[in-house]
Amino acid sequence: MPQPLTREQADLAARYYGVAKSRGDRAARKYPACAEEVEGAAVLALVEAAAKYDPARGVNFATWAIPTIDYRILDAVKAALCPSRDRRRERGFGPDVPEPWRDDPGPDEAEELVARLPKREAEAVREVVFEGKTLRELGRGFGVSPTGAMRLVHRGLGRLRERIEAGALG
């Protein structure tokens, strides 16, 4: 069970709540299908960052918290939009059960859309979304920081979203 925040940690989280909310709201506008999950992930990440923050290291809290918030937002988007087979079965989806988002791309259609992305973005999206790699692992493979890896994935997911909304399927 996680420890409750100290008074200082709670004050820090309260002071930076607007930052987490802003980042969560921006992601929720990009991914409305999982808006609640994204907004919640942003706030929980802020609390997590406040709990783990050590001012003795000499790092500004925003420098520490923002990547944590962004990673958790991306995790929430990934979990909501690309559920694992087990999670899909738990939720009652399977080959004989129609999915509520039937107009969304299936795996083959999604792969076709990903293949149309610029090469690095396509590889980044495949490795994070389909293979489950972390941003740190992706960054190592691409020779960039986790933040650089996150930008590649976000850019690729943004292009995919635009193409899906524009009706670029089939």
Read off the CATH number of the domain in which 152 is found.
1.10.10.10
As a whole number of angstroms, the distance between CA 126 and CA 150 comes to: 13
Alpha-carbon distances, residue 136 vs 22, 31, 122, 150, 153 (angstroms): 24, 23, 17, 9, 12
Do 19 and 67 lie in one domain? The reply is yes
Domain end position, chosen among 20, 51, 81:
81
8 A C-beta contact, residue 54 and residue 8: no
The reply to whether 86 falls in a domain is no
Domain membership of residue 115 as a residue range: 101-165
Identify which has the larger pLDDT, 79 or 70: 70
In a domain, 24, yes or no: yes
Residue 101 binned pLDDT confidence (cut-offs 50, 70, 90): very low
- Name the one residue in this structure whose structure tokens are 């709670």: 10
For residues 121-139, give the mean pLDDT: 85
More confident residue, 143 or 107: 143
Model pLDDT, residue 11: 92
Amino acid letter, residue 41: A
pLDDT of 146 reads: 85
Q: Give domain status of residue 95, yes or no.
A: no
Q: Which of 38, 42, 46 lies closest to 78 in space, CA to CA?
A: 38
Q: Where are the alpha helices (DSSP H) in the chain?
A: 7-15, 17-30, 35-52, 61-81, 85-90, 107-115, 119-125, 135-142, 146-165
Do 74 and 36 fall within a single domain?
A: yes
| Range among 10-14, 92-96, 124-128, 156-160 with highest mean pLDDT value | 10-14
- Cβ pair 79, 159 in contact under 8 A: no
Q: Is residue 153 part of a domain?
A: yes
- Average pLDDT of the residues in 125-145: 86
Burial pattern 22-52, b for ≥16 Cβ within 10 A else e, equals ebbeebbebbeebbebbbbbbbbbbbbbbbe
| Co-location of 15 and 74 in the same domain | yes
Average pLDDT score over the chain: 80
Number of domains in the chain: 2
Q: Which residues neighbour 46 within 8 Å (Cβ) at sequence distance 6 or greater?
A: 13, 16, 17, 19, 20, 65, 68, 69
pLDDT grade for 85, boundaries at 50, 70 and 90: low
**Residue 17: per-residue pLDDT:** 93
Q: Looking at the structure, tell me whether residues 68 and 11 fall in a common domain.
A: yes
Q: Does the residue 72 lie in any domain? A: yes
